[in-house]
Amino acid sequence: MYIYIYTHQLAQAHQPTTNPAARPQLKVKEAVVSADEMVWWIYVVVAVLLSIGREGCRVEGEDVVTYDGRSLIINGQRKILFSGSIHYPRSTPQMWPYLIAKAKEGGVDVIQTYVFWNLHEPQPGQYDFSGRYDLVKFMKEIQAQGLYACLRIGPYIESEWTYGGFPFWLHDVPGIVYRTDNEPFKYYMQNFTTKIVNLMKSEGLYASQGGPIILSQIENEYQNIEAAFHEKGAAYVRWAAKMAVDLGTGVPWVMCKQTDAPDPVINTCNGMRCGETFGGPNSPNKPSMWTENWTSFYQVYGGEPNIRSAQDIAFHVALFIAKKGSYINYYMYHGGTNFGRTASAYVITSYYDQAPLDEYGLLRQPKWGHLKELHAVIKNCSSPLLEGVQTNFSIGQFQQAYVFEEGSAGCVAFLVNNDSTNNATLQFRNNSFELLPKSISILPDCQNIIFNTAKVKTQPNKRITTSSKMFDAVDSWEEFRDVIPNFLDTSLQANSLLEHMNTTKDGSDYLWYTLSFQPNSSCTEPVLHIESLGHVVHSYINNKLSWTWEP
């Protein structure tokens, strides 16, 4: 009698344990099965109310990028910059020009992306920058369309990406401890960071070379776990910052959610409400920057989509600007697709589908249009916002005014109504205004309301999906047969179930275990006992399914 046990383990975004999941008293042999085959459903996706593009304004040539306590400074000019996250491997090269063009049309100045270590270095020293992984091509498309780029190298990125972007082979480096003052980890982190920086330099892609990259990021939300490493955590932060700066990119570096970011690295905010939660830069000489304004949220299997309204996003963008913020990135502006096995555990294939550009790159209205209008209003006020003197004062129980005055050159005011239920009627500079609940009114001349975050003019659209092809014929399907390993031919033997990811080296989500068992007359009711932390176990006896276990 042959017993076959088939286990399925979802890839985790965390470092796997090296301890076996269980130790049943069985002689087990094992084979690894690839799971690259999949069935795709094809849909035609229809969106309504597409808009027309507009011309860009970026000037080619070498750019000098610095900063002060007010903003980034490009070629001597302070800038208010709106940025949008578009991750190159979550879409296709054919989509990149369209996505970037739509971001630009929506008033975005910067395209922000992570760099995905496990895609680019699947094995130590073996690099892949082809197809969807062609980072250079993506950067050059950004440049061709007259936009800037923010390159978040990490190389730990989280991003609901398998292992947070770390290649699995890193797990097997002797003595390694991730993201701390650990020599093996620092060696490989520096090696990959240097590889990416040198690649960008070789293609002339940093702004200091005439390229689009005006910012780079090292690490990612490290302060969330820094205390767990005690003094080694702080030492690692200092090392990472120095390592990055010493690479000589000619552009500033940032660390997100890192209040102890060492000079000259800029600490930035992530979240939905940084105008309320951000404590500000850790130095008066650094600008206030928001690297992740979450336009919705990732979704897990069985979960509901996170719907964040255009009004709420606009309110918090305007509030951040009113509090002297000068760089805001939408995470995501286009989420795209988690192809293959790239998503972290339980995260669905579609990523941030509620972003201004949906999974397919279609406009998500009114979000896209409302933010476009806000961007235009803010940019028209950029001179007093960046060069003027700010004052703020109460104008009601739940109302606040933020005013920027640049002498006789200009004045702009933000009137904030924090009351989420009631309108507010108030006086400001001898004029009477009625403010909508939970809204910010922008007055570019301190006299007339031009934009209110709660008043949406863009018409909502609706996405409709229909089948483009019916898969109702036998010849339309392909069958994938999973080869069951032969007990006598397997090379890996153990007397217990093995830790899944350590065994497959992330090459498969699946494992077969085979057991040869010959019952005798005294064993009338044999019992197979399995202790496992796997997500799914199927058991077959003599090639027939006997039972399935799921948690």
* Residue 5: per-residue pLDDT: 64
- Residue among 221, 387, 405, 499 flagged as catalytic: 221
The superfamily (CATH) of domain 64-381 is Glycosidases (3.20.20.80)
* 292 labelled catalytic: yes
Coil vs helix vs strand at 293: strand
* Residue 115: per-residue pLDDT: 99
* Residue 32: per-residue pLDDT: 38
Q: Using alpha carbons only, how large is the chain's radius of gyration in Å?
A: 27
* Residue 7: per-residue pLDDT: 64
| 3 state SS for 386-442 | HHCEEEEEECCCCEEEEEEECCCCCEEEEEEECCCCCCEEEEECCEEEEECCCEEEE
* Residue 209: per-residue pLDDT: 98
Output the tens digit of pLDDT for each of the chain's 551 residues.
Answer: 455 666 665 544 333 333 333 333 333 333 333 333 333 332 333 333 333 333 334 445 688 999 999 999 999 999 999 999 999 999 999 999 999 999 999 999 999 999 999 999 999 999 999 999 999 999 999 999 999 999 999 999 999 999 999 999 999 999 999 999 999 999 999 999 999 999 999 999 999 999 999 999 999 999 999 999 999 999 999 999 999 999 999 999 999 999 999 999 999 999 999 999 999 999 999 999 999 999 999 999 999 999 999 999 999 999 999 999 999 999 999 999 999 999 998 999 999 999 999 999 999 999 999 999 999 999 999 999 999 999 999 999 999 999 999 988 899 999 999 999 999 999 999 999 999 999 999 999 999 999 999 999 999 999 998 877 776 777 777 777 777 778 788 878 888 888 888 888 888 888 888 887 777 767 667 777 777 767 788 888 888 888 887 76
Kindly report, residue by residue over 201-222, the tens digit of the pLDDT: 999 999 999 999 999 999 999 9
The Cα 50–Cα 15 span in angstroms is 43
Residues whose CB falls within 8 Å of the CB of residue 278, separated by 6 or more in sequence, listed in order: 269, 271, 288, 290, 320, 325
Cα 168–Cα 174–Cα 180 angle in degrees, nearest 5:
75
Nearest to 125 by CA among 175, 192, 196, 74: 192
* Residue 84: per-residue pLDDT: 99
CB 10 within 8 A of CB 509: yes
- Residue among 105, 141, 160, 292 flagged as catalytic: 292
Coil vs helix vs strand at 292: strand
The Cα 88–Cα 75 span in angstroms is 28
The Cα 294–Cα 330 span in angstroms is 6
* 158 labelled catalytic: no
CB 319 within 8 A of CB 374: no
Burial classification of residue 171, based on how many CB atoms lie within 10 Å of its CB (0-12 exposed, 13-18 middle, 19 or more buried): middle
Q: Can you give the residue ranges of every domain in the chain?
A: 2-35+508-549, 64-381, 390-452
Kindly report, residue by residue over 102-155, the tens digit of the pLDDT: 999 999 999 999 999 999 999 999 999 999 999 999 999 999 999 999 999 999
